Amino acid sequence: MPLGTLVQFMLPRWIVVRFARVAAAFAYRLNRKARERLLENCRHVLGAGTSESELHATTRRLFLHYVINLLDVMRVPVMKRRVLQLVEMDPLIVDRALAAKRGVVIVSGHFGNYDLAGVYMAAAGYPLSAVIEPVPRGWAKTYGRYRGATAMETIPIPDRKAMIRSLHRGRMLALVSDRDLTGNGLLCPAFDAYRHFPKGAAAYSLRFGCPLLVAGMMFQHEPGRRPYRMVYKSVEFTPTGDTNADVVRFTGLIAAEINDLIRRFPDQWLVFKAGWQQEP
């Protein structure tokens, strides 16, 4: 990754994107295991009536977005403040949520460029703390250097005290919530099947009275537009006072919003272990 950063320092982004297209085409053909997993996701998301050609076309675009994700993250040390030039964002919803000064729970997932999203928000001056999953074989330190290049705070999944401190300080706590990594999630509808979704976002929002936003930094390939745009939606929930029941219902609402975002951008959902189940 540092070598990739050094090479990209000498190249404009449009050349890097062209390289990504070639690399993604090779990855699609050679990585059969990943291709089959993404194809399975597409079958669920796009539905039974989707042709095989469309399924494979969507999967090829997923590989392209995956490679661009990685290359743009590698550019962070040479971009830093220039990362702001890559993204379109309407700050109204975020600023309104922060104005409550109770902290904000940001629900994100493995869609769009999820690593670059936190880097961008920190570069834009937002007080962001991102909860990160463990990465094996020393990659955690490597990714940590890139994620922290613009003052984004990172918190390991087991460190709940740090998450609570983040909200107490009025910060934005970003939780990846499209995949259950703890084994304690709730089984919720997901397109034509069911998947487990983590309860943490709902639990923290209810416990501390924090606003909750579902968000993603999505690719846009339209001429004349910036490469990415931030997509936000506030999820409203009125608690009943029954904590356990409220967490279940709120998690269901969050899962539905995540599914809706994936439905809108099916070629940008990059989960290789979705855990599909046919029965609740």
Model confidence band, residue 202 (pLDDT cutoffs 50, 70, 90): very high
Per DSSP, which regions of 10-144 are E strands? 87-88, 104-108, 128-132
pTM for the full predicted model = 0.91
The closest of 120, 121, 143 to 132, measured between CA atoms, is 143
Residue 44 has pLDDT above 60, yes or no: yes
pLDDT given at position 16:
85
For the stretch 77-93, pLDDT in tens is 666 667 788 899 999 99
Please give the Cα distance from 176 to 192 (Å, whole number): 22
Helix/strand number for the chain, H first, E second: 11, 9
pLDDT above 90 coverage of the chain, percent:
67
Model confidence band, residue 221 (pLDDT cutoffs 50, 70, 90): confident
pLDDT given at position 272:
93
Sequence-distant contacts of 231-237: CB under 8 A, at least 24 apart: 231/112, 231/261, 232/90, 232/93, 232/94, 233/93, 233/257, 233/261, 234/93, 234/97, 235/107, 237/202, 237/205, 237/206, 237/212
115-143 average pLDDT score:
78
Cα–Cα separations (whole angstroms), residue 197 to 52, 183, 194, 202, 256: 28, 9, 10, 11, 10
Mean pLDDT over each residue of the chain, to the nearest integer: 89
The dihedrals phi and psi of 49, each to the nearest 5 degrees, come to -80, 0
Cβ–Cβ < 8 Å for 226, 85: yes
Cβ–Cβ < 8 Å for 116, 83: yes
Domain ranges of the chain: 1-74, 81-265
